[in-house]
Each structure stands twice: as structure tokens, then as C-alpha cells.
Amino acid sequence: MSDLLRSTMSARLAKLPMDLPPLSAEEEAELEESESGDALGSLPGYRGLGPPAIPRQAGGSKTRTAKKPPNPDFAPISGADYFSEALQVAVPGRQLDCRVYYTPPKDANGTVLVCHHGAGYAGLSFASLAQELVGMSRGEVGVMSIDARRHGKTKSTQDKEDENLEIGVLVEDFLHILCAVWAQAATAPTLLLVGHSMGGSVVTRAVPRIQEAGYRVSGIAVLDVVEGTAIDALPHMHSLLNARPDGFDSVEEAVEWHFKTKTIRNSHSARVSVPGIFVPAPSSASTAAPHAYLWRTPLRSTAPYWQGWFSGLSAAFLQARTARLLVLAGTDRLDKELMIGQMQGKFQLAVVSGVGHVLHEDDPMQVAEILLEFWRRNDRLRMPVKVKTVGEA
């Protein structure tokens, strides 16, 4: 490869969201041949959607035919040790049977962090974080994490699954799930809403609806999504998805891909969360599937909803009538509206170093410390339902 082409490719790849393994000689030759038609030229930093695409890599080619044996170092780990309960919650108003992972607080009047994952992920994305939160707080906080529609083990009760993932639909789902778990708002615990990526948009927009229903919300925490950056990246998403593997020959291979591409930098967390975002390929007597496991939620199928997920997110976040926390993997992704809001002290900003987009999986301990500090600060400020006036007995 020429020095000019090598430096050009280095500059291009530097704009991508993670460190990439070195290119093989064969891949360098392919890039040199396609230099004039390369589509990765000016991709902005990727943030906001689900597991990202990675440029061509060994093991990820669609034309690969050789199958390698599963690597036991990336074998799935059950989520049973991370939550007290794994429940299927009927939500008839939304025609859903929702998977909910839940560890209650030791005090019935305590606080529960309710977590919503990003596009393409699932509830067990918060498994390692939940374990840290409960352990560090000694059970003072509980954690609930859900699988959204078309994700994880949540199923439609209709004959044909409703594929609509519009932001309004996801917000209604979220509200109905809370109402199904805690039917009486007056006896429900205090809620602290946590959303990663797309899920950050869901919990932010759900706040006023949840408060109107009578539930106590002590705060919202949005993990690594900013409206401006997410929208800037949307025109380039299809180019990225073209380079993404369609599936894998084993769950272990899927876990290994996520770890080795640094999509998830914590291999232990990946072994818990990744299996839930894949499904066995449908069997057919006439056609053999190219891969044994396929994505549960192909990101390309969610394209019609990307703009709606993120448009207006910054304003909704700043207008939420509760404490606000934004946790980022870097400071360069604040848009103008959030920069102004941050200078005005309208929300707390925390930056986690050494992590990628899935920061709560990459470093669950550090993110748990940030969330617990946020919880403690705002729990102390929580006012009782009725405050006596001066001189009242």
C-alpha cells in the first residue's frame, strides 16, 4: 500500500468510534483496489444507535465459508446472578409480553433505577451495572431493566409482530410497563430513569407522562447520546451497516466479535449481554442459512425511526422537571443547546474515560459510582409529600 493511501486510510479510520485492529495484507489490497470508490471518507463520530458496524475485518466477511469452532473464552454467561428475578410481564394495552429483569431495593420505599437499552441491545446490557449498583449501595437501590419491543425476550401477543419503533410507541410501551409492574403509583418506589443511546430518548420523553400518572421520579440519567451528533451521523449509517456481519456461526463468535472490535470492551459483560441480541437462524429443508445466528433486531430495519428518536432530544432533556444527568464517553459530543445548558448549570455532566459507546458495560463500576452519587445527592433533596407551615403543630 502506498504511503499516501495508508495515511489517508488512517485519517479516515480515526473518525470512527473505536480503535480498530490492523488490516491484513489481503484487506490492504482490497482497499487499494477500491480507493476511488471508498465510502468511509468523512464519517462523523458514531453515537446514538445500536451495536455499530465495523469496516471489513477477518472473520466478518460475508463471503467467508470456513467455520471455526466456538471459543470457550467467550461462552455465554447466564444473567441469573445479576438480577433477583426475570419475569414476563403481560402488557395487554400494548399487546406485549415483556421481559423484565428486576432486583428490588431492601426498603419497599426505596429507589429503583429503571433502565432502557439502546437500539439493537437488550435488558441484560445493564446486568453488570445492576450488580455493581446493588452491591455498592448495599441494597438501598433496586434495578429494573426491560427488553423493549422487537428486542430481547419481549414478544408481541399479536399474530404478527408490530414492527413500529417510533419514539411515541416506545414511550407508551415504557409507561405501560411501569404501570403493569407497579399498578398503584402511590405505593410504587421512587424511580430514577436510566437510558442508553435510543433508550435515553425514551426515558427523557417519558418523564412528564410518568409524573402525570402520579409516580415519583427523582431524576433521569442519559448515557452517551447527544441529539446533534446522533443526527449528524444518520446519513452515513447505511454505509456502516453495509460492512457489518449479517450473522455468526455461534454465539461465542458473536461475543468474540463484539469484544475484539471493541464494540463492548468488557468481555465478561459481553458474555452476559450479547447472547440475548441474537436468535437462531430459521431452519428450512430447502435452503441452508449462511449463519447459524442472526441479529434479533437488524438495525437497517429501524432506519425509518432514527430521525424521530433524536430530533428534539436536547430540548426535552433540558425541560424535564426532575434532576438531570448526562454521562458521556467524551466531551466532544455536546451540541450547542447542551453546551449552553451545561454552562447554565441545568444538568450534571459526567465523562467516563477509557470506554466506548456502551460505557455502562465497558466500565460498570465507574458508571455505578456516578449514578449512585447522583442518586444520593437528589435523594437528600427529595421533599416529603406534605410540609407543615411555620407554627403548625
**Residues that are catalytic:** 197, 224, 357
Assess contact for 277 and 121: CB atoms under 8 A. Answer: yes
Backbone angles phi, psi at 294, to 5 degrees: -120, 160
Residue 99, judged by CB atoms within 10 A of its CB (0-12, 13-18, 19+), counts as: buried
Closest by Cα among 247, 156, 144 to 199: 144
In angstroms, what is the C-alpha Rg of the chain? 22
Separation between Cα atoms, residue 267 and residue 261, nearest integer Å: 11
**Helices in the chain by DSSP H: which ranges?**
3-14, 25-33, 127-136, 167-181, 198-212, 227-233, 237-242, 251-260, 267-273, 306-310, 313-319, 336-343, 359-362, 364-380
Separation between Cα atoms, residue 267 and residue 320, nearest integer Å: 35
Please report, for residues 218, 307, 336, the alpha-carbon distance to residue 43 in angstroms, rounded to integers and kept in the order given.
Answer: 38, 17, 20
Instruction: Give SS3 for 21.
Output: coil
Query: Which residues touch 344 (CB under 8 Å, ≥6 apart)?
Result: none
Assess contact for 273 and 361: CB atoms under 8 A. Answer: yes
Closest by Cα among 198, 161, 192 to 310: 198
C-alpha cell at 219: 431524576
